Amino acid sequence: MTNQYCVIMAGGVGSRFWPISTQRVPKQFLDILGTGQSLLQLTYERVSNLVPAENILVVTNLEYADLVHEHLPILPKNNILLEPVRRNTAPCIAYAAFKINKRNPDATMVVTPSDHLITNEAAYVETLKNALAIAAQNDFLITLGITPSRPETGYGYIQFKEKKLAEDATLKKVKTFTEKPDIEHAKAFIDSGDFLWNSGVFIWNVKTCLEGFSKHLPDVFDTFKDGLLSYDSVVEEVFINTIYPQCENISIDYGLMEKANNVYVLPADFGWSDLGTWSSVMDHLKHDAHGNATIGKRVLLPNTTDTLVVSDGKKVIVADGLAGYVIAEGEHAILIYPKEKEQEIKGIVSEVRLKWGDEFV
């Protein structure tokens, strides 16, 4: 039996991709790139090249249980961890770590989001194999850092302690984490040579992970520790539904990675994108002579440049004279929005919900 496990986090709403991504069917369950598979299915296939199927767990919100079954029918029911409420990534990872620890206290684990794009899967698998081997032998909390190609303001950054990145990029001690910077700071980060993009992928052995929770998030640790006998039993669901609402709403980055002193980053380059914005999706699509990209058929774009159109193809869409826009057609809403302001879409979703209710988001 292998000691290697993978946890896929699939409980987010993906509101930046509204109105295609909705609370009922969020981004990870969509074929957002037109590949014929959802982002969750692509993630599962990717990690199945790394760990055996029975060692892959998916953590999602209770309301998406049927969607996970539908998209991953091969996944054992006991490997789908259902959160009754959203409490960010730290409780999600704690739940998975305690469950894995009960099955195999010698386990090492990869934690990955369900909605990222990886274009070089062979390099991705090789990088994680290397990280898992390191984690098995050391009490390190490891994250993957992506070699930056531009001063991106939509990503988090990790600063490592060595001044410059060596040609043979190996594990680096983490100095600081920085959330999405403004453009001037992003440029300075790139120029300094000691910053990497934060991929949101983590690797550690389960013992080190739980020790980190015990030290830096003791309330979360104690809450899940109370259910040691519940995991993989008939009372697990009752226990989780009881304690989860009590958990602090906190990310793993803020709650653990930014506080611990045994955090390392492994520089990597495998064609990564977190697909966090419509522009990041557009970057991976074919463009016409005017820089436009489309998902779906029956689109006419006279005198239009640098514009993304996302449609189910059931309607004809015509846009004349636009430059730098996103047009996205959902089941109950249509978005026409400047790409340069796309970071505002999450706020627009909240405004739509407030004015017209959950039906439209």
Number of domains into which the chain is organized: 2
Give yes or no: residues 174 and 270 share one domain.
Answer: yes
Specify the CATH number for the domain of residue 44: 3.90.550.10
Q: What is the pLDDT of residue 179?
A: 87
Whether residues 311 and 168 share a domain: the answer is no
Checking DSSP bridges between strand 172-178 and strand 263-268, what pairing results, if any?
antiparallel
Tell me which of 248, 276, 304 is where a domain ends.
276
Domain that holds residue 324: 279-360
Q: How many CB atoms lie within 10 A of CB 207?
A: 15
Do 337 and 303 sit in the same domain of this protein?
Answer: yes
Report pLDDT for 274: 86
pLDDT in the model for residue 338? 97
The pLDDT tens digits of the residues spanning 32-88 come to: 888 899 999 999 999 999 999 999 999 999 999 999 999 999 999 999 999 999 999
Q: How far apart are CA 205 and CA 141, in angstroms?
A: 8
Alpha carbon distance 166, 162 (integer Å) = 9
Last residue of one domain, picked from the residues 276, 301, 330: 276
Closest CA to 22 of 63, 51, 73, 54: 63
Instruction: Verify that 354 and 237 share a domain, yes or no.
Output: no
Domain match, 19 and 143 both: yes
In terms of domains, do 254 and 294 share one?
Answer: no
Residues of the chain with pLDDT below 50 are 165-168
Q: Which of 287, 289, 138 is nearest to 203 (CA)?
A: 138
Domain check: are 192 and 304 in the same one?
no
In 3-state terms, what secondary structure has residue 103? helix
d(C-alpha 188, C-alpha 206), whole Å: 36
pTM of the predicted structure, to 2 decimals:
0.93
* 144 and 161 together in one domain: yes
**CB-CB contact of 327 with 310 (8 Å):** yes
Same domain, 172 and 265: yes
d(CA 230, CA 147): 42
Choosing from 256, 276, 296, the residue where a domain stops is 276
β pairing state of 293-295 and 308-310: parallel
pLDDT recorded at residue 86: 95
The pLDDT of residue 163 is 55
Q: Are residues 55 and 93 in the same domain?
A: yes
- Kindly state whether residues 207 and 320 are assigned to the same domain: no
Q: Is the domain of 213 the same as that of 180? A: yes
pLDDT on residue 161: 87
pLDDT score, position 167 = 46
